[in-house]
Amino acid sequence: MLAESEGSGAPKRKNTMTITPLGRHLLYNELMADKGHEDEYVLRLAARFNKRPEGATDSFFRKVQDTVRECHYVSKPLTLSAWKANDYDAVAAEQKVATQSCVNFLSSEMPGFLGIDTSTKIKSAKLNCQTEMNLCVAEADTTADPKAAKIECKVEYKQCVSEDVQPLVDSTPLGACKATYAGCKKTILDNARAINPGVKPEKSEYSSCINEFKACVKTVKDAR
C-alpha cells in the first residue's frame, strides 16, 4: 500500500493505493517454434493497481467500486541459458525495464487515478463559494453601505460559481449533455436574432435541441 509521507507537502488522502504483483514468469516464446528458436523464452511481469476514489463511501444500497489498472510487460526473447547466466542477471536487469514501463503506463492516468471523485469536487467547490459568500455578507454589515456591499457579494458569489463550480459540473457526462443543450439553444437564438432582432424563436424551434438532450441523457443513464 502507498500513502503520502508526513511532511511531503502532498495532500493527505484517506484511501491508499494498493499495488499487487501478479507474477513474474519465464515462458516459452512460441510453443510451436522452429528448431532455431525452440529454446527462446520471454520474461512476463504484471501488476495491478487499486485505488478507491477520495470522498467516496459505501452506502446501504451502493458499494463504491475501486479504480483498477493493470500493467503487463513482455520482454524480448532470449535463450534459457542467457536468462540463467550470472545468477539470472538478465532477469534482474529486465525487471528494472518492466518497472519503468509500468511507471510510464500509469503516470498519464495518475491525476485521475489518485484524484477526488467529481461529485465530491463539486460539493467542495459549492461549499467554498457559499462560505466566501457568508464571510462577505458578514463583512458587508460593517461597511458604510451594507446594501451595496451585499449586492457586490452576490456578484462575487456568481463569479465563484461560474469559475469554480460550473466547469466541474460541465465535465460530468450529464453536465456535458446540459452544456450541449445550452449551446444548441444559444445557436438557434443567435440565428433568429440575426434575421430579426425583435423576434424570439418559437418553442418548437428548439425541438432538435431537446431531442438531442434526451438522447444524451439516455446514453449516460444506460452506461451506468
Could you give the maximum distance between any two Cα atoms of the chain, in Å? 94
User: 140 lies in which domain range?
Assistant: 117-171
**Shared domain check, 70 and 44:** yes
Q: What is the pLDDT of residues 43-93, one digit of tens each?
A: 988 888 888 766 666 666 677 778 788 888 999 988 889 999 999 899 999
Residue 74 lies in a domain: yes
**Shared domain check, 108 and 22:** yes
CA dist list (Å): 165 to 26, 36, 150, 169, 217: 51, 64, 21, 6, 21
CA dist list (Å): 223 to 112, 173, 198, 216, 218: 20, 10, 43, 11, 9
Please tell me the distance from the alpha carbon of residue 157 to that of residue 163, in angstroms, as a whole number: 10
Report the residue count for the chain.
224
Residue 145 lies in a domain: yes
Reported pTM: 0.43
Residue 3 lies in a domain: no
Please tell me the distance from the alpha carbon of residue 120 to that of residue 98, in angstroms, as a whole number: 35
Residue 4 lies in a domain: no
Contact assessment for residue 125 and residue 165, using Cβ atoms and an 8 Å cutoff? yes
Residue 50 lies in a domain: yes
Residue 212 lies in a domain: yes
**Shared domain check, 110 and 34:** yes
Q: What is the pLDDT of residues 4-35, one digit of tens each?
A: 444 444 445 566 778 888 888 878 766 655 55
**Shared domain check, 178 and 162:** no
Please tell me the distance from the alpha carbon of residue 45 to that of residue 20, in angstroms, as a whole number: 12
Residue 183 lies in a domain: yes
Residue 1 lies in a domain: no
